[in-house]
Structure 1
Amino acid sequence: MTNAGCQLAGFIIAAIGGTCVLLATILPHWRRNGPSKETLEMSSIYEGIWIECIAYSTGQWQCTDINTFFVGLPLPVQIGRGFSCTAVVLGALAFVFSVLGMECTSCLSSSPTSKQKMSLLAGVMWVLSGGLMGVAVSYYANSVLNQYRRDVDRTVEGEKFIFGSCLYVGWAALVTCSVGGSLLAAGSRSDDDEQNISYLSTAYRPPGIPNKADFSTEYV
């Protein structure tokens, strides 16, 4: 049997990471304008990979879609869209495979080997999902940082852009998906596999060589 507790813990952690992947993909908080006295009194600008929003001090939001054709988008936005969407798809598939492959579920209970392989595949997909999201937010964060350094001499602080909360959510998704997927994959290892490994690791005795017990016989 597999380690059901390890699988369940990995699934919960990975599911949290998958939620972070989805939130980071759809929310417009990849970057925002830096704080200043003027902007704090008037408005704040938030930009994502799908929409751009202006939040006014009255609590109202005005958002516009980024309808530019994919090829015409800036490279960080292209990478953000491509990698994050792929991460969402992998996370959705990993969620389904996790439910099918975990020992605590009754799905595929007639085929323990299939459940074990399904759980292992789900763990790998969770890790890939978190890794893709991590690449997307890291590349975008690097572009924001480079632009901030280029604009360091600007007199208006509100025109500078800094990291948005979605970048931190994406990095959290990288960690949680990697940890959860690793636990899920590790929990898919059955006791039979451990017994086979221990059996193969025993010392090899060539044929024809007697055991030590044969020499312990005393003759009178």
Structure 2
Amino acid sequence: MKESIEVIALFLGFVGWILVFVSLEDQYWKESTTDGSVIVTSTIYENLWMSCASESTGIYNCRDFPSLFALPGYIQASRALMIASIVFGTFGLVATLVGMQFSKIGGESYVLKGRIAAIGGVFFLLQGICTMIAVSWYAANITQQFFDQLYAGTKYEIGKGLYIGWSSAVLAICGGSCLLCACSFKSPNEKISYLYQPTSRGHVLSTVATTHTAPSNYGRNAYV
């Protein structure tokens, strides 16, 4: 039961980690809207790294953002959060592989391996939280500009790259939660194996200690 939950958690975390890369590579984080336009000759779409424009004839052109410090704050924050998400996901995968019960990496101390697997679950949760904040913050700015009547610039709609990011975040959070639940779950056999079993030597020592401490209950007059 516990091993199967760990495998499912590892699979969810790995797929969520892969989808982070897919979301970053996708160019359609936001796409210019066609709402209210009768004739559309070109489409503008952007992600965290570049802006592209495609014409109705099929010709498209992309350019990288020229300066990091000239970008809006939410784009810089989204970049940092997505990079942190990749780092957390990498640590989560390594810790989970080491901490799984059937893995031979890291010895056979099940208590230590359980703690390492729990750390991997925390990393997966951090990965999902960072991705969720990045894509949600980016989407919030798109919707704010779209419904702002005073905004005179180009209005955009949510692109498929954000949906991929949301899927990645949900999978990573589910994987981390399953891994933490698997680490906190113990079967009755596992609980019995960790109980303290006093040795016969311990009984002898306790008996000797008792016999030596017994005269302390009497005063000095008892020996006269």
TM over 0.5: yes
Instruction: Supply the AA of the counterpart residue of 1:135.
Output: I
Q: Where do residues 109-188 of structure 1 align in structure 2 (5 Å cutoff)?
A: 109-151=107-149, 159-188=154-183
Shift of 1:60: 4.2
Cα distance, 1:106–1:38 mapped onto 2, change above 3 Å: farther
Higher-Rg member (1/2): 2
Higher mean displacement: 163-172 or 118-127: 163-172
Instruction: Supply the AA of the counterpart residue of 1:49.
Output: L
Cα distance, 1:68–1:123 mapped onto 2, change above 3 Å: same
Shift of 1:7: 0.4
TM-score normalised by structure 1 residue count: 0.76
**1:3–1:189 CA contact under 8 A, matched in 2:** no
Rounded Cα–Cα distance in structure 1 between residues aligned with 2:91 and 2:33? 38
SS in 1 for 2:61: strand
Shift of 1:53: 1.5
TM-score normalised by structure 2 residue count: 0.75
Cα deviation per residue 1:12-52 (whole Å; 9 max; x = unaligned)?
A: 1121111222222232221110134433xx33211011111
SS in 1 for 2:101: coil
**1:7–1:185 CA contact under 8 A, matched in 2:** no
Instruction: Supply the AA of the counterpart residue of 1:38.
Output: I
Higher mean displacement: 142-151 or 118-127: 142-151
Cα deviation per residue 1:106-150 (whole Å; 9 max; x = unaligned)?
A: 212333233211111111110111111111111111111111112
**Unpaired runs of at least 5, structure 2:** 196-224
The structure, 1 or 2, with the larger RCO (C-alpha pairs under 8 Å, 6+ apart) is 1
Rounded Cα–Cα distance in structure 1 between residues aligned with 2:125 and 2:10? 12
SS in 2 for 1:73: coil
Cα distance, 1:37–1:11 mapped onto 2, change above 3 Å: farther
- Do structure 1's residue 195 and structure 2's residue 195 form an aligned pair? no
Aligned residues: 190
Higher mean displacement: 105-114 or 125-134: 105-114
Cα deviation per residue 1:71-110 (whole Å; 9 max; x = unaligned)?
A: 3310110111111111111111111112111223221233
Aligned to 2:53: 54
SS in 2 for 1:191: coil
CA RMSD of aligned residues (A): 2.5
Cα distance, 1:121–1:74 mapped onto 2, change above 3 Å: same
Percent identity over the alignment is 25
Rounded Cα–Cα distance in structure 2 between residues aligned with 1:106 and 1:153? 59
Aligned to 2:212: none
Instruction: Supply the AA of the counterpart residue of 1:180.
Output: G
Aligned to 2:77: 79
Shift of 1:184: 1.4
SS in 2 for 1:178: helix
Rounded Cα–Cα distance in structure 2 between residues aligned with 1:138 and 1:60? 31
**2:145–2:151 CA contact under 8 A, matched in 1:** no
